[in-house]
Amino acid sequence: MSETLESIALAMVATGKGILAADESSGTIKKRFDAINVESTEDNRRDYREMMFRTTDAMTNHISGVILFDETIRQKGADGTPLVDVIKAAGALPGIKVDGGAKELAGAPGEMITEGLDGLRDRFAQYYKIGARFAKWRAVINIGENIPSTYCISTNVHALARYAKLAQEAGIVPIVEPEVIMDGSHSIERCEEVTETTLIALFDALREQEVNLEGCILKPNMVISGSTASNRAGVQEVAERTLKVFKRTVPAAIPGIVFLSGGQSDLEATAHLGAMNKMGPLPWKLSFSYGRALQAAPQKAWAGKADNVPAAQAAFGHRAKMNSLASKGEYSTDLEK
């Protein structure tokens, strides 16, 4: 079959599969490595990520694609095989983070705007040649006193749509990621309101800029209590409120919604996904694109030591499998044992 945006998008959310977000920027991966006392060198970053990409069962059966950082998409494994080829050999798609990170939004204290549109057409052409078939751009929406502003939401969704259109022109499926940040003491009601407003604005911008929805994947936050809220909502409430907002705002033409974990524990992220998929039938596939929730366990098990690779791969494989079951509505916490 010839490859189209639609066929790539469908492959990204194939039944029982989700995405591994391994696209931490240099600064973020250093933070993760600091936590396990590993120096963030180019070789250590390579070894760590290659270890996951060579976890055969997980990569073949539970992971549809991997989001890479610019360094990784150009890197070769220890035996000289390009990491892109290691990922493809397992049957997964290479993807690329193309945004330039979130910077302070001018004149809007506490708010952020994602940079990276300049030169993006040429970068997409290059990434396509290297093998990327999907991409990611993350917008950051903070909740606080009197924020987010309409200004912050509208500038961020405008940039997301411009990125998405350029990706599609290059034959690359855009993951559009408007992340309403969990940090803060806000209630789940406040998160619901901000998420709904953001998604309405996002799909307006995508329509205005004629983005093909069938060739686009949404990567949102869940509707969840702030991380330091006094009464945090339970699993069922998170699942119900999240689905309520999506049904109101996300067109059925979108083939799939893949969540970010956003600071939830790995077990929470799996439980929430599982609960939502038990509430089907739904108009879109609902799966995962987790960074921390897939990698926290393998990072801890690995701790930078070659001897720990089998244990780290087992930890990664387990989380991938649990999330795969959750994406099919077949997860229960008993399966964690």
- Active-site annotation, residues: 177, 219
Written as six digits, the tokens of 280 are 């089907």
Which listed range, 48-56, 103-111, 244-252, 284-292, lies at the site for ligand 13P (CB under 6 A)? 284-292
* Strand bridging mode 63-68 / 18-22: parallel
**Residue 285 bridge partners (DSSP):** 256
Cβ of residue 21: shortest distance to ligand 13P, in angstroms? 3
Cβ of residue 95: shortest distance to ligand 13P, in angstroms? 10
Q: Which is nearer to ligand 13P, 155 or 323 (CB)?
A: 323
Cβ of residue 19: shortest distance to ligand 13P, in angstroms? 9
Cβ of residue 136: shortest distance to ligand 13P, in angstroms? 6
Q: Which is nearer to ligand 13P, 21 or 152 (CB)?
A: 21
CA pair distance 262, 243, nearest whole angstrom: 17
Which listed range, 127-135, 250-258, 287-295, 314-322, lies at the site for ligand 13P (CB under 6 A)? 287-295
Of 138, 158, 241, 272, the one binding ligand 13P by CB under 6 A: 138
Q: Is residue 291 part of the contact set for ligand 13P (CB under 6 A)?
A: yes
The strand ranges marked E within the chain are 18-22, 63-68, 93-97, 102-104, 112-114, 134-141, 173-180, 217-218, 256-259, 285-290
153 contacts 198 by C-beta, under 8 angstroms: yes
Cβ of residue 9: shortest distance to ligand 13P, in angstroms? 17
Written as six digits, the tokens of 302 are 């690995």
Q: How many residues sit in the footprint of ligand 13P (CB under 6 A)? A: 10
Residue length of the chain: 337
Of 293, 312, 315, 325, the one binding ligand 13P by CB under 6 A: 293
Q: To 10 degrees, the CA torsion angle through 127, 128, 133, 138?
A: 40
CA pair distance 18, 138, nearest whole angstrom: 18
Q: Read off φ and ψ for residue 183, nearest 5 degrees.
A: -55, 135
Site for ligand 13P in 246-265 (CB under 6 A): 260-262
Site for ligand 13P in 163-202 (CB under 6 A): 177
Provide the H-helix boundaries in 173-290: 188-208, 235-249, 266-277
Of 8, 12, 21, 166, the one binding ligand 13P by CB under 6 A: 21
**Rule CB under 6 A: which residues touch ligand 13P?**
21, 138, 177, 260-262, 290-293
